[in-house]
Amino acid sequence: MRPEVRTGPPPPPSSPSQVFHRDLHRLHRRSGAMTGPPLVPQPVCRFQDPEPADLSMEEESDTRKINNSFLRDHNYATEADIISTVEFNSSGELLATGDKGGRVVVFQREQESKSQPQRRGEYNVYSTFQSHEPEFDYLKSLEIEEKINKIKWLPQQNAAYFLLSTNDKTVKLWKISERDKRPEGYNLKDEDGRIRNPSTITSLRVPVLQPMDLMVEATARRVFSNAHTYHINSISVNSDLQTFISTDDLRVNLWNLEITDRSFNIVDIKPANMEELTEVITSAEFHPQHCHTFAYSSSKGSIRLCDMRQAALCDKHCKYFEEPEDPSTRSFFSEIISSISDVKFSHNGRYLMTRDYLTVKVWDLQMENKPLETYQVHDYLRGKLCSLYENDCIFDKFECVWNGSDSVIMTGSYNNFFRMFDRNTKRDVTLEASRENSKPRAILKPRKVCVGGKRRKDEISVDSLDFSKKILHTTWHPHENIIAVAATNNLYIFQDKVN
């Protein structure tokens, strides 16, 4: 029942992928319920890709190619267009992005069709809506930004899709649904909309539903507000499909998805005297299968695992993951760079992945004293911490993701680079998301950063990295090798070789 949205030239048989170049959010800067078809932008260019490649990391290079990317012209990019979160739903058919302007754009994967099997895998705009508006807290004289901090999809429960989106203070539950029928026939009006003379009404007409163009509507179903004093940094839906948690700097609150007028505080680390504050909560997530377990990370580099079965208040953790600090590398920046910016359970629920400033760590839930694996994301920055501190980059919050089988992890870096680590082969790769380098259908070339010494061809020196281009938000399709990478105001979708 999907709308036919494409009107561009048919792709050549051998080039299944394409690039879209558009000023996406600008096109859709409208609030409220939005419809799909009229808003879908058109592809403007297509490129042919001669060499399809494989995503698996066995191949030395050229592992990925661009599938489609939603790029906006830098000249027009404003602060509001910067993408602040990106998330696949549980089937991978939908992909949602949120931006600093409070908007949510949902992309839908093109259905496979017999005539054009190569189109499978392309994502097109499905729905766009304004999720949050800027607000002002008059009691505290605080502006509340509309920026979407996180989006989480709910498992699908009927034909409609549901997602939670949050800004600093308020979580909203959105329903995205399709409508393809429209009632027709009035009693008081004729077909042209003219009012009929009531004396001519001699029989009653019941409206009849007629098929119409598919319309996609987004409606706010619930608003969960007034529960957070500090800024919400993460939300997570429980596997019991009944509750979710929202987390701010000092507290974790538990909500029922159907009840908006109360929530339960389950973690509170606020000291009686705020001067004694030594750490803040940076992120929290529910275990994917065990409805009673959740983990939260702190700015001190530790992760606490809590069991909601033990007590109503989870101030006491049941597991505490922390790596003892190496005294030899201790510096002024140690504490800042050890702060965890993201924590994610693996899909199988056995591992936790955390991202701090320079590394990604994988922890086994059964081993609390040290991480199972540690991957260096951009160790070459260790010598530049001072300048990164001065330009505030050291406080950037990078996210990290697992692939569907938990064998590869991905996280972002600077200069529009993002990194992938294969946990089995211990291979790693640096890729770049940029319009110049990633022609549509082109295979991504691995990039290398050279550290001192002579710079080889193809390498880029640390000093020439652009720190304003950072990849903070990425997401991986739950079952397939498709990734979405948000680079400031551009969204890139890369996918495994398409045959």
Partner 1 sequence: MYCNFKSQGFKKRNCAKSVLEKRTIFLLVKPRSAAQQRHSVTATESKMAGADGDDSLYPIAVLIDELRNEDVQLRLNSIKKLSTIALALGVERTRTELLPFLTDTIYDEDEVLLALAEQLGNFTMLVGGPEYVHCLLPPLESLATVEETVVRDKAVESLRKISQEHSPVDLEVHFEPLVKRLASGDWFTSRTSACGLFSVCYPRVSSTVKAEIRQHFRTLCSDDTPMVRRAAASKLGEFAKVLELDYVKSDIISLFTALASDEQDSVRLLAVEACVSIATLLPQEDLETLVMPTLRQAAEDKSWRVRYMVADKFSELQKAVGPEITKNDLVPAFQNLLKDCEAEVRAAAANKVKEFCENLPEDSREQIIMTHILPCVKELVSDTNQHVKSALASVIMGLSTILGKDNTIEHLLPLFLAQLKDECPEVRLNIISNLDCVNEVIGIRQLSQSLLPAIVELAEDAKWRVRLAIIEYMPLLAGQLGVEFFDEKLNTLCMAWLIDHVYAIREAATCNLMKLVEKFGAEWAQNTIVPKVLGMANDPNYLHRMTTLFCLKLYWLLFFENTFALSEACGQDITTKQMLPVVLKMSNDQVANVRFNVAKSLQKIGPVLDSNALQAEVKPVLEKLATDTDMDVKYFAQEAINSVLALQRSD
Q: To the nearest whole angstrom, how small is the minimum distance from the Cβ of residue 211 to partner 1?
A: 11
Q: Which spans of this chain sit near partner 1 (rule: CB under 8 A)?
A: 155-160, 162, 175, 177, 179, 181, 183, 186-189, 195, 198-199, 201-209, 221, 239-242, 256, 258-261, 264, 289-292, 308-312
Q: How far apart are the first and last CA of the chain?
A: 26
Tell me which DSSP letter residue 473 carries. E
161-166, Cβ contacts within 8 angstroms, sequence gap of 24 or more: 161/89, 161/94, 161/106, 162/221, 163/87, 163/89, 163/96, 163/104, 163/106, 164/235, 164/237, 164/244, 165/98, 165/104, 165/131, 165/132, 166/232, 166/235, 166/246
**Of residues 141 and 157, the one with the C-beta less far from partner 1:** 157
Q: Are residues 162 and 197 in contact, defined by beta-carbon separation less than 8 angstroms?
A: no
- Smaller CB separation from partner 1, 139 or 206: 206
**What minimum distance in Å lies between the beta carbon of 389 and partner 1?**
45
**Are 150 and 231 spatial neighbours (Cβ–Cβ below 8 Å)?**
no
The residue whose two tokens read 């940076």 is: 282
Half-sphere CA count of 47, side-chain side, radius 13 A:
19
Alpha helices in 366-494 (DSSP H): 385-390
Nearer to partner 1, 75 or 203 (CB): 203
Nearer to partner 1, 258 or 458 (CB): 258
Q: Which is nearer to partner 1, 268 or 373 (CB)?
A: 268
Is 154 or 465 the residue whose CB approaches partner 1 more closely?
154
Q: How far is the CB of 99 from partner 1 (least distance, A)?
A: 27
**CB 395, min distance to partner 1, A:** 37
Phi and psi based region of residue 347 (left: phi greater than 0; alpha: psi -120 to 50; beta: remaining): alpha
Of 309 and 330, the one with the shorter C-beta distance to partner 1 is 309
From the CB of 355, what's the least distance to partner 1, in Å?
A: 30
Beta carbon of residue 337, minimum distance to partner 1 (angstroms, whole number)? 38
CB of 219 to partner 1, least distance (A): 9
Q: How far apart, in Å, are the Cα atoms of 62 and each of 8, 430, 450?
A: 28, 11, 19
In the chain, DSSP finds a helix count (H) and a strand count (E) of 3, 34
Residue 335 is inside which H or E element, if any? Answer: helix 334-338
